[in-house]
Amino acid sequence: MSGSQWFQAVRVLRKTIGLGALLALAAFILGPLLSLLMWAVAGTWLFPALIPEFSLKWWFYVLGQEDVVKSIRMSVESAPVATALSALICIPAAYAFARLEFPGRRVVLLSFLSANAFPKIGLYVSIATLFYRLNLMDTFAGVVMIQLINTLLFMIWIPTGTFRGINRNLEEAARDAGAGPLRTFFQITLPIALPGLIVAALFAFIAAFDEAQGSLIVGTPNHITMPVLMYGLVLGYPQPVGAVFSVLLALPSLVLLLLMQRYLRAGYLAAGYNL
Amino acid sequence: MRAGWKQGALGLALVLPPLCVLLFLVVIPAITAVVTTLTARAAGTSLFSNYAEVLGTRGLRADITYTVVVTLVAVSVTFLLSYPLALYLRFTRSRAVGFLGVLFMVPLFVPVVITSYAMINFLVNHGFVSTILYRLGIQTFPRLMYNATGIVLTQVWASIPFAVLILGSGLQAIDDALIDSARDVGAGALRTFFAVILPLNMTSTMITLTLLFIGIFGSFTIPFLVGGNAPQMLGVTMTAYLTQYLRRTESVTMAVIAFLIAAIVGAVYIASVSRRERGTR
Amino acid sequence: MIMKHATRARAVALIVGIAVLAFLVGVNPGGAGAQAPVTLNVYISGDTNIFDLWQKMLLPAFQKRYPQYKANMVPLLHGEGSQGVFDKILAAKQSGRQTDVDLWETQPSFVTQGIPDALWVKLGPNLIPNLSHVLQQKLDATQSYSMPYRGSSVVIAYNSAFVKTPPKTFDDLVAWIKANPGKFTYCDPNTGGSGQAFMVAAVYKYASNAQFIGSSYDPKAESSWDAAWQLLKSLEPAMYNGGAHPNGNVAVLQLLAQQNIYIAPVWSDMGTDYLSRGLLPKTVKLEQLSPPLFGGDSTVTAPASSAHLEGTFLLLNWLLTPDAQTLVVNGVSGYPGVDWQYMPASVRSKFADVAKPYAPLPNSQYFADMLRLWHERVAGGG
């Protein structure tokens, strides 16, 4: 436990600062969410009331809107598909970036980073015309493709770093022991890389889930996602409505958090992430 | 180096699917946009006249500078908060670690629109925090929303999980034995950090800083909901030029300029990673 | 730490399973293939009270009257996404396809933008009989390519608990603002009509509005706006938070409700709606200034590439009937699109005092320049 010993060298000072910092951080992160939760059960809340009037009337209002239910379904269906598709095409590519030499490797790698830096406003007209020709407008596939664009960055870069961090000796040892390249990949490389890949999938999912500007053009009117709807609810309706919808939206995310919890602990992200 | 043409072919084949997606859905539309900025101009004007016009407008120059500055501040604050947190999670064995581990992940699962909305209700004058202080007798409250401070605070809130994760995974790779040996030669905690930890974790650091910069620089939702009226972040300005002021060409010109700035940052990252990689070969 | 074989396999199976399931479910959306009733897609730009008007009052009444049609409303809050819709319609026209947009309520600027590309149907009494009930000058504003169906005006909302003598004219209001710094604001004009109205009122103070409401456009005429920019800039330090202009009409209503400000320009229909729902303190009152702030008609337009033009014309005609117009007036405390003489007598008498005149809107090109110059000269460094 020598790592800990180093840190404990300044134990007393650390403990005091640590506790204060911890409380401050917890307040900063949880505070806004707490106030949102209170707004979600508020009938009315006018300054300078410390606590709102309790009421669930806005829940009935929100859940009564059929667009709300439709959009939840749309988001929950499209984002996982976009993420899975992204993983399918990007992870082999990431392995290639990490392990193989081929002409133009650096240029292609750079292009993924650079292309995602281009503000999407400038792109959407051209994309819309293209989609019209390909009959992708107002289709599930069209929305998935738009979300896919946003996932590419995470699905290439994080897995590339993950694969690069895996010690080559492990793979070479397996090869020397007689295992073929595919077997080596699935039995040696992939298990070590998995936590990193799952983190990449998580970020990719968030990016797909949050996508709003492109989905508006491509998905209307029958394939509206939650962000597109949410944007309007939050800006235009009375405060409790946005708060109620926020709580509703947090639910799938929260479920994901609980399921993925074990993968996200710092310890799991270790395993040779050696850059 | 056992690079044969077989390996090269395989590499290209594996990379082809995402590359095609990128090409058709991003690169080609982007090139079309750039071409527009060079050709959509009055007859007889110079090739770069659109760029000259945008960069010559005082308000737009202010927006560009503002975007760069706000992004740098947000990235720095996020980094300064996330690194200690990552260090704490890596090197401490205590009950708090489990709780902290879940806590810092929470903002990741909150969609950006909700984040902005929650922060506004939390920090606006006569909002949550200010009402509590008001009841405690503190009547004045600093202006934390609808300005750069609001943007920075909200971006930091939303970016902490990402930064801690990436930094943390880099830290994970540092062997305890290295820390130990530093201690053995008498190095204090701070010295160990600067001499051992920071250099070894440099790649994660570079990834974090670069991706944070690009993400925050080109963002729209947070600055739109939480920012002020002027100057504005480029994402907001571009949208206004396109949809409100009906100036499509200026909007696309700004998009290209923003892209160039972000690309420079990306190039810095590539250069540093390449150098490291060449060193380890 | 290397994961156990079994756990890894389970995790992978779980992920793949969810993805496949989700895809299958997504491929079978219910109901989108109904044959008999034709579905009209109605795109509405505006604020949430307008969405409620369409969703809860107008469209159900229309569907009841014409059961062979179903209507689906797509909301565009504050017009967000309008550029995307315009691009969609343009792209469809250019590639020779039909567009799914059957009706669009949007800003006149988009209508004007689309005229050269023949994106809209020119409306006339031959297509829409009830159009003759609409004042011709209202149709002229967009050369009959769009049709007004409701109107609203911006008024002043003030909290009578803090404002004992409300300002009656624009100049009174300016004086009040300077005397009470930090207690007034208007929304960023890019994001809401209530803020635009205040900005335009300043412009109209120094330059007769006749120049700017027609169809001509001369950028040089904009030099007459300089005095207005100076006035507004001088008011900035007296604004809420020293110059904060929130995002959207609703955000200003919320500031008023939170007692962060005591006076604000608001849309008449939104103000009435908020008061009735208890979202504004009961001490808040509405009044119109003299000369009045602007108001305008909301118009709807029919894309030429729509697949269901007969249905669209039917809807447009129905919108102008006394029944539908009464829904509008009652539903959003708004003004009808048809001339008042075509409204039922009971409605006319009930809303006699609401039916006050309002100032006209500038044309879309001047308007776009006003928005940009406001950002540069008033909010920005000048």
- Residues B100 and A25: their CA atoms lie apart, in Å, by 9
pLDDT at C160: 94
C288 phi/psi in degrees, rounded to 5: -105, 145
Chain C residue whose CA is closest to B131:
C258
Q: Summarize pLDDT for C119-128 with one digit per residue, the tens.
A: 999 999 899 9
pLDDT at C250: 87
Q: Summarize pLDDT for A107-126 with one digit per residue, the tens.
A: 888 777 666 666 666 676 66
Residue C33 pLDDT > 50? no
List, in sequence order, every beta strand (DSSP E) within chain C: 38-46, 69-77, 103-105, 147-159, 263-267, 284-287, 295-301, 335-336
Angle (nearest 5°) at CA C3 between C1 and C9: 165
Averaged pLDDT, C362-379: 88
Mean pLDDT of chain C: 83
Contacts of C381 in chain B (CB under 8 A): 58-59, 62, 230
Say if CB C157 and CB C285 are below 8 A apart. yes
Tell me, rounded to whole angstroms, the distance of Cα B15 from its chain centroid: 26
Is residue A45 a part of any domain in this protein?
Answer: no
Nearest CB partner across the interface for A191, out of C8, C41, C88: C8
Q: Summarize pLDDT for C112-121 with one digit per residue, the tens.
A: 888 888 999 9
pLDDT at C165: 93
Rounded to a whole number, what is the distance in Å from the CA of C134 to chain A's nearest CA? Answer: 30
Q: Summarize pLDDT for C229-276 with one digit per residue, the tens.
A: 999 999 999 999 888 898 888 889 988 988 889 999 998 888 887 887
For helices C249-257 and C193-206, the axis angle rounded to 10 degrees is 100
Q: Same domain for A32 and A63?
A: no
Nearest CB partner across the interface for C371, out of B127, B146, B244: B244
Averaged pLDDT, A197-203: 85
CA distances from C173 to A227, C124, C176, C266, C290 (A): 39, 43, 5, 14, 11
What pairs with residue C287 in β-bridges? C156
Residue with the two structure tokens 């911890």:
A22
Residue A210 pLDDT > 50? yes
Is residue B67 a part of any domain in this protein?
Answer: yes
Is residue B7 a part of any domain in this protein?
Answer: no
Rounded to a whole number, what is the distance in Å from the CA of C340 to chain B's nearest CA? Answer: 32
Residues 6+ apart with CB under 8 A from A266: B86, B89, B90, B101, B168, B169, B171, B172
Rounded to a whole number, what is the distance in Å from the CA of B268 to chain C's nearest CA? Answer: 32
Q: In which domain, by residue range, is A25 found? A: 2-40
pLDDT grade, residue B12 (50/70/90)? confident
Closest CA to B258 of B215, B195, B224: B215
Mean pLDDT of chain B: 85
Residue range C153-295+362-379 forms a domain whose CATH class is alpha beta
Averaged pLDDT, C210-226: 85
Rounded to a whole number, what is the distance in Å from the CA of A226 to chain C's nearest CA? Answer: 13
Using DSSP, state whether B274 is helix, strand or coil: helix
Rounded to a whole number, what is the distance in Å from the CA of B115 to chain A's nearest CA? Answer: 8
Give the best residue of A5, A6, A22 to mutate against chain B (max B CB count within 10 A).
A6
Window 198-227 of B: residues touching A by CB (8 A cutoff) are 203-204, 207, 210-211, 214, 217-218, 220-221, 225
Give the best residue of C245, C366, C372, C377 to mutate against chain B (max B CB count within 10 A).
C372
CB atoms within 10 A of CB C333: 20
Nearest CB partner across the interface for C380, out of B59, B143, B243: B59
Q: What does pTM read for this prediction?
A: 0.74
Closest CA to C293 of C189, C149, C218: C189
Chain A residue whose CA is closest to B4:
A101
Do A232 and C27 lie within an 8 Å CB cutoff? no
pLDDT at B60: 92
Residue C355 pLDDT > 70? no
Rounded to a whole number, what is the distance in Å from the CA of A208 to chain B's nearest CA? Answer: 11
Q: Same domain for A30 and A76?
A: no
Percentage of chain B lying above the pLDDT 70 cut = 94
pLDDT grade, residue B66 (50/70/90)? very high
Nearest CB partner across the interface for A4, out of B21, B92, B235: B92
Q: In which domain, by residue range, is B251 found? A: 47-280
Residue C353 pLDDT > 60? no
CB atoms within 10 A of CB C326: 15
Chain C residue whose CA is closest to A260:
C11
* B128–chain C Cβ distance below 8 A for any pair: no
Dihedral over alpha carbons A269, A272, A275, B2 (to 10 degrees):
-140
pLDDT at A116: 65
Closest CA to C293 of C192, C377, C196, C167: C196
B219 phi/psi in degrees, rounded to 5: -75, 160
Is residue B137 a part of any domain in this protein?
Answer: yes
pLDDT grade, residue B185 (50/70/90)? confident
Do B126 and C371 lie within an 8 Å CB cutoff? no
Window 199-258 of B: residues touching C by CB (8 A cutoff) are 224-225, 228-232, 240-247
What pairs with residue C20 in β-bridges? none
Is residue B213 a part of any domain in this protein?
Answer: yes
CATH number at residue B146: 1.10.3720.10
Is residue B22 a part of any domain in this protein?
Answer: no
Intervals of CATH 3.40.190.10 along chain C: 38-151+296-350, 153-295+362-379
Structurally, chain A folds into a number of domains equal to 2
Is residue A50 a part of any domain in this protein?
Answer: no
Mean pLDDT of chain A: 80
Q: Same domain for A89 and A173?
A: yes
Q: Summarize pLDDT for B222-263 with one digit per residue, the tens.
A: 898 888 888 999 988 887 887 678 787 888 888 888 888 888
pLDDT at B156: 97
- ipTM (interface pTM): 0.81
HSE of C127, CA atoms in CB hemisphere, 13 A: 16
Residue A207 pLDDT > 70? yes
Residue C53 pLDDT > 80? yes
Averaged pLDDT, C76-95: 81
Does C291 sit behind a cis peptide bond, omega within 30 degrees of 0 on the bond before it? yes
pLDDT grade, residue A268 (50/70/90)? very low
Residue A218 pLDDT > 70? yes
pLDDT at B65: 95
Do C80 and A232 lie within an 8 Å CB cutoff? yes
- Residues C265 and C192: their CA atoms lie apart, in Å, by 11
Averaged pLDDT, C366-378: 90
Q: Same domain for A21 and A138?
A: no
Q: Could you tell me which residue, C313 or C363, shows the higher pLDDT?
A: C313
- Residues C150 and C134: their CA atoms lie apart, in Å, by 11
CA distances from B88 to B96, B194, C248 (A): 10, 16, 42
Rounded to a whole number, what is the distance in Å from the CA of A109 to chain B's nearest CA? Answer: 9
Is residue A47 a part of any domain in this protein?
Answer: no
Is residue A275 a part of any domain in this protein?
Answer: no
CATH number at residue A172: 1.10.3720.10
Tokens of B58: 């005082």
- Residues B272 and C76: their CA atoms lie apart, in Å, by 45
Tell me, rounded to whole angstroms, the distance of Cα C224 from its chain centroid: 27
Q: Could you tell me which residue, B201 or A221, shows the higher pLDDT?
A: B201
* C279–chain B Cβ distance below 8 A for any pair: no
Tell me which CATH code domain C38-151+296-350 carries.
Answer: 3.40.190.10
* B1–chain A Cβ distance below 8 A for any pair: yes
* B146–chain A Cβ distance below 8 A for any pair: no
pLDDT grade, residue C21 (50/70/90)? very low
Contacts of B247 in chain C (CB under 8 A): 368, 372
pLDDT grade, residue A271 (50/70/90)? very low
Tokens of C82: 């309008």
pLDDT grade, residue C1 (50/70/90)? very low
